[in-house]
Amino acid sequence: MTGIPQNIKGLIFDLDGVLVDTAVFHFQAWKRLANTLGYDFTERENEQLKGVSRVQSLQLILKWAGIEKTEAEQEALAAKKNDWYLELVNQMKMGDTLPGAEEFLKESKAAGYKIALGSASKNARLILEKTGIIDYFDAIIDGNGVSASKPDPEVFLKGAEALGVEPADCLVFEDAQAGIDAARVGGMHVVGIGKAEDLHGTDFVIRDLRGLKVGQR
């Protein structure tokens, strides 16, 4: 089994698709919104919304549908989608994390790694609280604290800074290509979570966090 590279001091986790499976809730809520506009989209198109911010996701869906909306209308639509998304998130419970995620966080913390969240989501804190994993984090950088979306490296650079660790000594965990590109541009190591054929530019790819050994620092 692969281990964490020797020089690594800080671990920066994406949220959706790495620690929790909220992608399915995003998909349901976006689909519900698209349907009110007389449009539908598939799970395959939904892949392109992963790791992308709320407003950018809406703009992509409107583009696919060939629909134009003013900025004010877009804000109202994004708010409606978020209300529906939160109805689903609010049903999440302690332990609703992806396979191996909580154990990996626990072992990493015990081994002395500094741990940050680097997520595009503005709902990240709520999700970490509901699933009971918030206390593992030394720093939380989310969609409320960044101005540029992935593949811009801002979210991860802020994470490294908050941990007091050089970017080159950080390992980022990402399931989306935009996030992998962001980590690379930021000069960090990056583990892809998912299928190797879908993810490019990683140090290595694992199916989920059961596939990586924490070991000793």
Residue 57 φ/ψ region, left for φ over 0, alpha for ψ in the -120 to 50 degree band, beta for the rest: alpha
Binding ligand B16 by CB under 6 A: which of 4, 10, 25, 26? 26
Annotate each residue in 3-22 with x if it binds Mg ion (CB under 5 A) or - if it does not, as one string: -----------x-xx-----
Nearer to Mg ion, 28 or 39 (CB): 28
| Residue 57 interacting with ligand B16 (CB under 6 A) | yes
Binding ligand B16 by CB under 6 A: which of 8, 53, 157, 177? 53
| Residue 175 interacting with Mg ion (CB under 5 A) | yes
Burial (CB < 10 A; 0-12, 13-18, 19+), residue 16, is buried
Is 123:89 a contact under the CB 8 Å cutoff? Answer: yes
Angle among Cα 73, 77, 83 to the nearest 5 degrees reads 145
> Is the backbone peptide bond immediately before 167 cis, with ω within 30 degrees of 0?
no
Q: So which residues are the catalytic ones?
A: 14, 16
Chain residues in the site for Mg ion (CB under 5 A):
14, 16-17, 51, 175-176
Residues that bind ligand B16 (CB under 6 A): 14-17, 26, 49-54, 57, 82, 119-123, 143, 176
